[in-house]
Each structure stands twice: as structure tokens, then as C-alpha cells.
Structure 1
Amino acid sequence: MLSARYATPVLVLLALALVPTVVNSYVGRKIVESPALRDALPEVLDGTASMPTDRRATTIKKEFDSEDWVEREFVDARGSRSVVLAVRSYDMKRLYHHPELAVSETDYERESVERVDGKHGPLDVHVLRSGGGSTVAAYALLFKGRTIGNPYLFQLTKAPELLLLGQRPLTLVFVEAPAGSRSEGVATPAISRLVSAVTALQSSPS
């Protein structure tokens, strides 16, 4: 028999597990956001041009249940390469639960959430670092133009709104790049490119 002192934590865990299923299964109305990410994400960021990657649409559909996405590779004048992926999906958990496993072959061992200054206010940036420290990935989760630091708590608190008003998609912006020098501190190439991409999406007319 379950001890009374464990009842509350268990109920909280069950609620966290059930919220994504309930929202995705029983909320029929979906709010469509525009423009499409392919149009919203600029082909040039910080003066650096890009080109589409060869990632397949079937992969994005399988991993994130989404058809609204774009991925571009940016190479600056020094030859520094960064890949920016933006995906919009109503299945929020697929976006926030270890997205790196779906889009990257790098083995990331360290994860943190950092507050970074953005044009429209502070951004919650999820930072992943590889074991050898040679590669950094950074991603942001956007909902109504604002970033999310704790997606589990966010989905739990937003569940009543989604159930009453309809599903609204979450947007993942994921950037992967070489780590850069130590002197760059928090502004690694991946984070800098992420901030630029998120700012562009926040500024995009809807």
C-alpha cells in the first residue's frame, strides 16, 4: 500500500505524464500559426547567408509529427559552420524531450538552461555541451513568441488553456556549431546564432 507521504509526489508525476496525452488526444481544435517557418526564418542572419540542408521531411514528420519546419546551414567568412533547425508542432513533448536525440549525431553529456539577453527581452536558452567540449548545441522553445525554461511545468500549467481554447503549437529552434574559444564565454557561436534566429521569429509578422 502506498504511504500517504508519497501520495502527493506520485500524483504530481502522474499529472505530468498524462497532460501531453490528454491535450493531444482530446483537444480537436488547433490554432494555426503563420507565416510558415520556411518563410519566417531569414536566409541571411547577421550578414551570413545560408543554404538548405538535405534533411528529409519524412524524418521531421516521424520525430516531431510536423510538416512546418526549415533547416539551414550558415557558413561565415571564417568558415565557421552552424546549422539552424526550426520546427513547429502541436505535440509539445516531442519537441522539448531531448530533441538532440532526434536531430544530432553528437553525444552531449552536459545540459544547462541559461538566461541570455535578446532584442525583445531575456531568453531561456537550453545549452548542450559534448563530452570533449568541441561542439555546443543550443535550443529555445517558443510559445506565443516567448521562450520556455521549464517545459514540463509549462505544459502542466498551460493544459487548462489548451483544453478550453484549442491546441497551439510549440516551436523548437535548435542550433549546432563548434564550441568556439573560451573568451567568447556564454556567447558561443551556437548561442549567438540561436539568439539571432529566435529574434527573427519573434519579429516575424503573424
Structure 2
Amino acid sequence: MISSRYAPIVALLLILALVPTIIHSYLQQKTDDEVIVSSTIPSIEGYTSEPFTRHNTEWVKTMFDSEDWFERIYRAADGKVIRLFVTRSYNHKRLYHHPELGLSHGSDLKREGVVMLKGERQIPVHLLRNNNGRGLVAYVLLSDGKYIDRPVVHQIQESLKQLVSASRPMTIFYVSDTSSPAGVDFNQTSAAVVLGAAIDRFNSDIEKQ
């Protein structure tokens, strides 16, 4: 039996404990900036592009818990071929936890760490290189206007915020090629050009909202 003098405190704690359940299970609160990823396909001077058809909507839904995405091949005048994949999801872990295992299945990749994409604003890029000496994978994570360099730390912080607030989507910009030499600076690659263009186009649409 709880003493009556503690009843208000217990009631308050129970109400606070119910807040996340009410927000996420009943109200299903999610932020929506109304940007549609599939409408942010960048046009890049000096490159042609076409859809990449290996993956479909069902696969993306299963892999990333998302139905808003696009994937394209960009071809440079010098013959370089870059694959670009962009999606966003409220399930952040699906995006940051080894996306290369699904998007570059079968490649023998080694993580090099985080490098900075140079431009008006330096952006952290998660970079992997192919162990055969040629090719790379690079991706950028964006959530609530912030570029994520430490996704696990971000996930912990976001989980705490979501106890009392609506869910926010994360966006991944993912590029890969099979020809970049192992020693080349990422910022000198066609992959960096395509990645930067995709981010710029997405941010341009965000600013219009």
C-alpha cells in the first residue's frame, strides 16, 4: 500500500512514463519537412545519368524501412561511372549501421574512417576502400540539419530526445565506384562530385520549404 502523501508523485511518474508510448504508439508523431527524396535527383554538368535497376521498392523497404528513395548511375565524360543512392528513414540504425553490406553486397571493403567533403561547408564523409586496390564507397548522414560523423553517439542522443518529442528522419547519400585508385584523395574523385551535387540539391529543396 502506497502512502497517500506519495500518491501525487507516483501519479506524475506514471504520466511521464506514458509520454513516449503516447507519442510513438498512439499518436505516431513524426516530423515532416515535406521534402521527397525521389524528386531531388541532381543534374550534374559533364555527367549523364540513368536509373539503376538492381534494387526495387520492396528491397529498400526491407533494408532501410523507407519507401522514398532513388538510385542512379552517373557517367562522366572520362568514362568514370558512379552509383548514387539516396533515401531517408525514421529508423536511423537501418541507415548508419553498415549500409555497404546491402548496397555494395559482395565487395571486399575496408573502412578508412571519416574524411571531410570540401566546399562552402565541410561535411563528414564515411569512407571505405576496396581491398583489391581500386574503387570506393562513401556516404553522408544528415539528420535535423546536422551532418553525422559519430552515428552511435547520435543515436543515443536522438533516442533520449524521442522520449518526449516526435521522430525525425535521417537521410543517407551513398556513392560508389569501382575504378578510383587506392591512394587518390577522395575530394579529387568523381564520387565526391556526385556526392556533393546530391547533397546540394537536397538542401536546396529543404530551403524552399
The TM tier, using the shorter chain, reads 0.7 to 0.9
Q: Deviations over 1:160-184 (max 9, x none)?
A: 3233220011001110013435785
Alignment partners' CA distance in 2, 1:131 and 1:99: 17
Larger mean CA deviation between 64-73 and 110-119 belongs to: 110-119
Larger mean CA deviation between 175-184 and 83-92 belongs to: 175-184
Unaligned runs of 5+ in 1: 1-21
Q: Deviations over 1:113-170 (max 9, x none)?
A: 1122233x11010001011121101000011233100011012122232332200110
Q: 1:72 is paired with a residue of what secondary structure?
A: strand
Alignment partners' CA distance in 2, 1:28 and 1:80: 44
Question: Where does residue 157 of structure 1 map in the other structure?
Answer: 157
Alignment partners' CA distance in 2, 1:102 and 1:137: 12
Q: Deviations over 1:33-78 (max 9, x none)?
A: 3221111232x12442311111211110110110011111101112
Question: Where does residue 170 of structure 1 map in the other structure?
Answer: 170
Q: 2:161 is paired with a residue of what secondary structure?
A: helix
Question: Where does residue 9 of structure 2 map in the other structure?
Answer: none
Q: Following superposition of structure 1 onto structure 2, how do residues 76-87 of structure 1 map, counting pairs within 5 Å?
A: 76-87=76-87
1:33 aligns with 2:33: yes
Alignment partners' CA distance in 1, 2:156 and 2:196: 26
Q: Following superposition of structure 1 onto structure 2, how do residues 10-159 of structure 1 map, counting pairs within 5 Å?
A: 28-42=28-42, 44-54=43-53, 55-105=55-105, 106-119=107-120, 121-159=121-159
Indicate conservation of the 8 Å contact 2:46/2:77, yes or no: no
Alignment partners' CA distance in 1, 2:51 and 2:136: 21
Question: Radius of gyration: which is bigger?
Answer: 2
Alignment partners' CA distance in 2, 1:109 and 1:182: 11
Q: Deviations over 1:67-95 (max 9, x none)?
A: 01111110111221101000110100010
Alignment partners' CA distance in 2, 1:95 and 1:87: 9
Indicate conservation of the 8 Å contact 1:179/1:189, yes or no: no
Indicate conservation of the 8 Å contact 1:114/1:127, yes or no: yes
Superposed structure 1 runs of 4+ greater than 6 Å apart = none
Would the alpha carbon gap of residues 25 and 164 (structure 1) be closer, same or farther in structure 2, given more than 3 Å must change? Answer: closer
How far residue 186 of structure 1 moved from its aligned partner, in angstroms, is 2.7
Question: Where does residue 189 of structure 1 map in the other structure?
Answer: 190
RMSD: 2.2
Larger mean CA deviation between 75-84 and 106-115 belongs to: 106-115
Identity in percent:
31
Provide the aligned length of Structure 1 versus Structure 2: 182
Indicate conservation of the 8 Å contact 2:80/2:179, yes or no: no
Indicate conservation of the 8 Å contact 1:173/1:198, yes or no: yes
Instruction: Give the aligned residue type for 2:125.
Output: V
Question: Where does residue 198 of structure 1 map in the other structure?
Answer: 199
Unaligned runs of 5+ in 2: 1-20
The TM-score with structure 2 as length reference comes to 0.79
